[in-house]
Amino acid sequence: MEYDIFTLQKKLSKIMTEKRFYHSLGVQGMSLALAIRYGYDMDKANLAGLLHDCAKDMEDEELIAECKKYKLPVSDVENRNGFLLHGKLGAYYSEYKYGVTDPEILSAINWHTTGKPDMALLEKIIFVADYIEPNRTCKRIPELNSIRRLAFMDLDKAVLEILENSLLYLKKKGKEIDKLTVEAYDYYKVNSNF
């Protein structure tokens, strides 16, 4: 797999907001660190981390329209909460705009928003890296530093903690919850030996 990561960073810096671009660089770096820790392919983690939010800087209506334009499935929950589609659309863009053909990378980008039961290693790395990247603050997520430490000790337990925090946050805010996030939480609650 040969990608010019610096050229790709430059392209993304022109289409993303500054905040989103720095977040993506943070996820890229954290993905690399987690790949090293868990013995995963660093090039794949690097690329997936960088591209994970390549479709995020859009309004909900635009995300929905783009998914429909490219005939990507849109669930009822996604139709009401278009921001959930940025992973799915990001995987599509990664393949068709940026030439990524690796199914592991595309899948990790696709599932980084909701998670899913029994994620593959790269899917877990991107899911966790997105949550714990260095630009996030403990002000918004008080348990962040403990989750960061946990991520380097037991990735499955970190996934479970992130899913639990996300579900609590969504319930507290009265937001709709995607069933895949609940299914992922239930799966990791049973299978993470926590």
pLDDT in tens, 133-172: 999 887 778 889 999 999 999 999 999 999 999 999 999 9
Domains of the chain, residue spans: 8-138
Among all chains, which residue has been given the structure tokens 């946050």? Answer: 169
CA dist 78 and 168 (Å) reads 19
The alpha carbon of 137 is separated from its chain's Cα centroid by a whole number of angstroms, namely 17
- % pLDDT > 70, the chain: 97
| 4 Rama sector, left if φ>0, alpha if ψ -120 to 50, beta otherwise | beta
Model confidence band, residue 193 (pLDDT cutoffs 50, 70, 90) = low
Model confidence band, residue 75 (pLDDT cutoffs 50, 70, 90) = very high
Q: What's the mean pLDDT when you consider all of the chain? A: 94
Q: Which H or E run includes 131?
A: helix 121-132
26, 133 contact by CB (below 8 A): yes
Q: How many other C-beta atoms are found inside a 10 Å radius of the C-beta of residue 71?
A: 8
187, 180 contact by CB (below 8 A): no
pLDDT of residue 4: 87
How large is the average pLDDT for residues 32-53?
98
Q: HSE on the CB side for 33, CA within 13 Å?
A: 18
pTM of the shown model? 0.95
CATH topology of domain 8-138: Hypothetical protein af1432 (1.10.3210)
